[in-house]
Structures are given as C-alpha cells and as structure tokens.
Amino acid sequence: MAPEPYPHPVCHECKLNENRCLLHDKKFCLGPLTAGGCGAVCPSHGLPCVGCWGPNPDGNFKEHFKLLESFGMTREDVVRRVRNFGGHKILEYIADE
C-alpha cells in the first residue's frame, strides 16, 4: 500500500525535528527531492535521506544534482546512490539530461 501523500519534502520534517541540515556540511542527502511523511528518521540519526518515499514533485532535481556534484561527488556516484534505494524514481525527473 502506498503511503498517504505528504505535502512537503523530508527537509520540512528535519526542520520540525530541529536537525542540522546535512547539506550544510556538504554531505549527500536527497531530503529536498523526497516526499516527506517518514518523520525524517534517517537524518534524525545523522544518516542521509536516500529518497525511499519517492520523489517530491516540487523538487528542483537538476539543481540539486548540481549541488551534490559541487560537493565533489561525480554524477555517476550520485546516480548510483539514488538507484540503491526507493529513490530511483527521482532519476525520471532528470532523464532528459
């Protein structure tokens, strides 16, 4: 059964939980691209959001991938990490590149 849609990305839940943003520390995180509703469990334990609740349709996918690349990650590494989990649907939003 699919989870009930949540109107905000995981980042919103991180802020509610008063988590420090992993992106500020230049760490991999898909929170801005991922549909919320999980309570930001992974980031609350210092782990990156890996997109397991699927894409947030309002995400700025292409720019977020550029941000992750600016941290020194290769595009291939970012794509590989996204494919490892339920976030593989996120790749559909950048397929035309």
Residue 35 lies in a domain: yes
Mean per-residue pLDDT, 10-32: 95
**pLDDT band with cut points at 50, 70 and 90 for residue 85:** low
pLDDT classification of 86: cutoffs 50, 70, 90: low
Q: In the prediction, which pLDDT does 87 show? A: 64
Sign, Cα dihedral of 85, 92, 77, 58: negative
Between vectors from CA 26 to CA 48 and to CA 41, what angle results, nearest 5°?
Answer: 20
For residue 48, pLDDT beyond 60: yes
CA distance 52 to 24: 21
Domain tally, the chain? 1
d(CA 83, CA 89): 8
- 4: in domain: no
Does residue 5 belong to any structural domain of this protein?
no
| Dihedral angle computed from the Cα positions of residues 58, 62, 65 and 66, in that order, rounded to the nearest 10 degrees | -130
pLDDT at 7: 87
Q: Which residue range is the domain that position 42 belongs to?
A: 10-94
